[in-house]
Amino acid sequence: MAGPGKLTTSPRVLVPLCTALAGVFILAWALWFARSFMEPAAPLLPSGQEVVFRVNPGSTLRAVSRDLAEQGLLRSARSFESLARDADKAQSVRAGEYLLVSGWSPERILKELTESPGILLRVQVREGLSWRETARAVDDSGAAAGEEFRKAAFDPGLLARNEIPSDSPEGYLFPETYLVSKVSGDNGRVLAEAMFKEFRKNARKVWPNGLPAPEELRRLVILASLVEKESGDLSERARVAGVFMNRLRLGMRLQSDPTVIYGLGQDYDGDLTRAHLEDGANPYNTYRISGLPPGPICSPGLISLQAAADPEQHGFLYFVGKGDGTHFFSKSLEEHNAAVAKYQLRRNRATYRSTPAQN
């Protein structure tokens, strides 16, 4: 029995009160949960409209679903999220840019975001480009900044991991067309490593029984880079390589203009002068140094690598451009001088077509 002045609550009153409080709590939680899944108010786009949709690196499925709905590509973000989870693709949405079309079913959109590479940027690396020219091609493509690519290409760790026998990427950024996503986290590194891997893949085509020892491989890449720059005619590559090998065997200087030009670097203005050919300070000047230059002068393609690995056997020691994209090969200096007079000194400047570089 309660004493005077004390209020008591009957157990019969406590039960309904607790039930009511629990109901309020559950209702508040349900409202919060529903609010967290509220659908965007953006209307659906008319069918047939192309939309470039971007998935940023690290985006969650919920964020992607919400963005799709907000851009009018989905009616229900929550339904799309459930669809992805039920299909076991909640973690499969890839970062990138995608060309979606309004009116597509959620299933088709999910397939595009999880299986398609999306919109890719094209980076074309031609045969015979130096690393600077390759970095410029990367920069021009918009795939990565040239400086970002340079840092990656010269990274000692990346070079070592890809078994590049040099502290420079010159000669090993293999010419090919590369496709990368615009929103990849580090496209400079992605591209540099892809080029190194492409070099190794093509080198294995040249040497299917195993690559040469690192120093020998480096020497052959240097030779292949000279062959690449000296002739644009694929059928001549092995013959040009044979000329260089003959000169090396006899102790003759290679006297290759492209090596001099490479050594001049960004100071070369398009006019190769006698002073350039006589410059002993240029370490790539094969008019003044004996043997191969200290490193490759460009990235050679597969045909030039094959030519360096298997030069044509012949007695030629000289070659000169004929003006039609091919060369005249000579076995003696006298024969070569006559060819120079015929094809160079008396050339028709209106019709003359040089190869990428002339000797």
User: Do residues 182 and 241 share a domain?
Assistant: no
In a domain? residue 28: no
In a domain? residue 278: yes
At 32 the pLDDT is 45
At 6 the pLDDT is 47
User: Do residues 196 and 262 share a domain?
Assistant: no
At 255 the pLDDT is 96
For the chain, give the secondary structure using H, E and C: CCCCCCCCCCHHHHHHHHHHHHHHHHHHHHHHHHHHCCCCCCCCCCCCCEEEEEECCCCCHHHHHHHHHHCCCCCCHHHHHHHHHHCCCCCCCCCEEEEEECCCCHHHHHHHHHHCCCCEEEEECCCCCCHHHHHHHHHHHCCCCHHHHHHHHCCHHHHHHCCCCCCCCCCCCCCCEEEEECCCCCHHHHHHHHHHHHHHHHHHHHCCCCCCCHHHHHHHHHHHHHHHHHCCCHHHHHHHHHHHHHHHHHCCCCCCHHHHHHHHHHHCCCCCCHHHHCCCCCCCCCCCCCCCCCCCCCCCCHHHHHHHHCCCCCCCCEEEECCECCEEEECCHHHHHHHHHHHHHCCCCCCCECCCCCC
In a domain? residue 6: no
In a domain? residue 351: no
User: Do residues 268 and 286 share a domain?
Assistant: yes
At 182 the pLDDT is 80
> pLDDT (tens digit, 9 = 90+) per residue, 14-63?
455 445 555 545 555 455 445 544 544 468 999 999 999 999 988 999 99
Low-confidence ranges of the chain (pLDDT < 50): 1-9, 13-14, 17-18, 24, 29, 32-33, 36-37, 39-41, 355-359
Q: Which of 115, 141, 169 is the last residue of a domain?
A: 115
User: Do residues 309 and 192 share a domain?
Assistant: no
User: Do residues 225 and 277 share a domain?
Assistant: yes
User: Do residues 150 and 191 share a domain?
Assistant: yes
> pLDDT (tens digit, 9 = 90+) per residue, 148-189?
999 999 999 999 999 999 999 999 999 999 999 887 668 999
User: Do residues 109 and 124 share a domain?
Assistant: no
User: Do residues 229 and 329 share a domain?
Assistant: yes
Per the structure, the count of domains in the chain is 3
User: Do residues 127 and 63 share a domain?
Assistant: no
In a domain? residue 21: no
Q: Which of 115, 138, 167 is the last residue of a domain?
A: 115
**Domain coverage including residue 104:** 50-115
User: Do residues 202 and 235 share a domain?
Assistant: no
In a domain? residue 333: yes
